[in-house]
Amino acid sequence: MTARLPSLNGLRAFEAAARHLSFTLAAAELNVTQTAISHQIKRLEEELGLRLFVRKNRALALTPKAKAYLPGVRAAFNDLRLATDQLLRKDDDSVLTISTLASLAAKWLLPRLSTFQEAHPKIDVRITTSTSLVDFRSGDVAAAIRYGRGNWQGVKAQWLMADELFPVCSPALLNRRLRCPEDLAHQTLLHTSGGYDDDWRQWLTAAGLPTDISKQPSRTFDLIFMTVQAAIDGIGVAMGRTSYVQDDIAKGRLVVPFKIALPADAGFYLVSPEAIDDPPKLKLFRQWLLAAVQNKS
């Protein structure tokens, strides 16, 4: 049986309140009262059967489950906005639609995108998430950021960046329990399915540790950003990839307990139609994207 979707108003209230970490600011954005936001959030929590927000010293914070839920809700609203825009503004030359992976969008692209928008305010960048190759013949998507070896047929693929693989965990977990790689045998390992299943085994082999450690009791998530969030919350040790964890390391939310890093066997590419010259707006985005990658910021 298909699960019934929660109310759209509740999800809108949740997304706005989570983004602002304020019911007051969410109410102002959605042009409703603060009481209405509170009621919508309460109703959504009742529908889901779990708490989404907690109050800490007069500040609003997300629960761990809400943190994991938020990127999916945000991506869904972005896809709705994109679909509506494509329906109503099909020929708008200011719109630039980029397809990418949900985790890369959440952990790397979106935190940096404001610098492009500030430099080019007349270009309306729309991000849509998918793991499938894009059919550029439809004209809906200008380019895509994909992970692989760049040998896709019928497209031009420009190299962007590669990842290194290395364990990451919360500072609290490091201080309590991780002194050497052998201590991983007593930790909960966090895995990501869908193409990343072998990351832990590869790293353990490179570190000279028994690969059976990767088979001990663990937790597995569908998307990397969920695995990373679980590590931030102290649930266990995740196998980090540079693109997905570098910001959290820089901000102190994650630490690297060991010095052993393993190069990934593939990388990220900007993929676009082979037989079509880049329109000016895509040329500007390509130039910005390459600079952002090189800055590693």
For residue 297, what pLDDT band results from cuts at 50, 70 and 90? Answer: low
Q: What percent of the chain has pLDDT over 70?
A: 94
- What is the Cα–Cα distance from 49 to 293, expressed in whole angstroms? 41
Q: Which of 27, 8, 6 has the alpha carbon at shortest distance from 17?
A: 27
Lowest mean pLDDT of 21-25, 40-44, 238-242, 272-276, name the range: 272-276
Give the pLDDT of residue 88. Answer: 62
Give the pLDDT of residue 87. Answer: 65
pTM above 0.75, yes or no: no
Q: Which of 233, 257, 92, 61 has the alpha carbon at shortest distance from 168?
A: 257
- Amino acid 195 reads G
**Please, are residues 127 and 105 in contact by the beta-carbon 8 Å criterion?**
yes
- What is the Cα–Cα distance from 239 to 237, expressed in whole angstroms? 7
Q: What mean pLDDT, rounded, does the chain reach? A: 87
For residue 283, what pLDDT band results from cuts at 50, 70 and 90? Answer: very high
**Please, are residues 139 and 93 in contact by the beta-carbon 8 Å criterion?**
no
**Which two structure tokens, joined as six digits, stand for 256?**
């690297």
pLDDT digits (tens, 9 = 90+) for 12-37: 999 999 988 889 888 888 888 989 99
Give the pLDDT of residue 123. Answer: 92
Which sequence spans correspond to the domains of the chain? 8-63, 72-160+267-295, 163-263
**Which two structure tokens, joined as six digits, stand for 226?**
């969920």
Give the pLDDT of residue 284. Answer: 94
Pairing state between β 53-56 and 189-192: unpaired
Q: Does domain 163-263 have CATH number 3.30.2310.20?
A: no
- Amino acid 263 reads P
Q: What percent of the chain has pLDDT over 90?
A: 46
Q: What angle do CA 144, 147, 152 make, to 5 degrees?
A: 70
Helix (H, G, I), strand (E, B) or coil at 211: helix
**Which two structure tokens, joined as six digits, stand for 162?**
């590669």
pLDDT digits (tens, 9 = 90+) for 144-182: 999 888 888 888 899 999 889 999 999 988 877 788 899
- What is the Cα–Cα distance from 293 to 291, expressed in whole angstroms? 5
What is the mean pLDDT of the segment spanning 36-57?
Answer: 90
The DSSP string of 158-170 is: EEEEEEEEEEEB-
Q: Is the pLDDT of residue 1 over 50?
A: no
What is the mean pLDDT of the segment spanning 41-47?
Answer: 92
**Please, are residues 42 and 6 in contact by the beta-carbon 8 Å criterion?**
no
Pick 256 or 6 by higher pLDDT.
256
Q: What is the CATH number of domain 8-63?
A: 1.10.10.10
For residue 248, what pLDDT band results from cuts at 50, 70 and 90? Answer: very high
CA distance to 5, 52, 65, 68, per residue, from 48 (Å)? 9, 9, 11, 14
- Say which residues have a Cβ less than 8 Å from residue 19's Cβ, sequence separation at least 6: 26, 74
Q: Is the pLDDT of residue 234 over 60?
A: yes
Q: Is the pLDDT of residue 4 over 70?
A: yes
- What is the Cα–Cα distance from 168 to 238, expressed in whole angstroms? 5
Judge whether 8-63 and 163-263 match in fold: no
72-160+267-295: which CATH number, 3.40.190.10, 3.30.70.3270, 3.55.50.30, 3.50.50.60?
3.40.190.10
Q: Is the pLDDT of residue 199 over 80?
A: yes
For residue 6, what pLDDT band results from cuts at 50, 70 and 90? Answer: confident
Give the pLDDT of residue 275. Answer: 72
**Please, are residues 48 and 79 in contact by the beta-carbon 8 Å criterion?**
no
Q: Scanning the structure block, which residue is given the tokens 């109503």?
A: 88
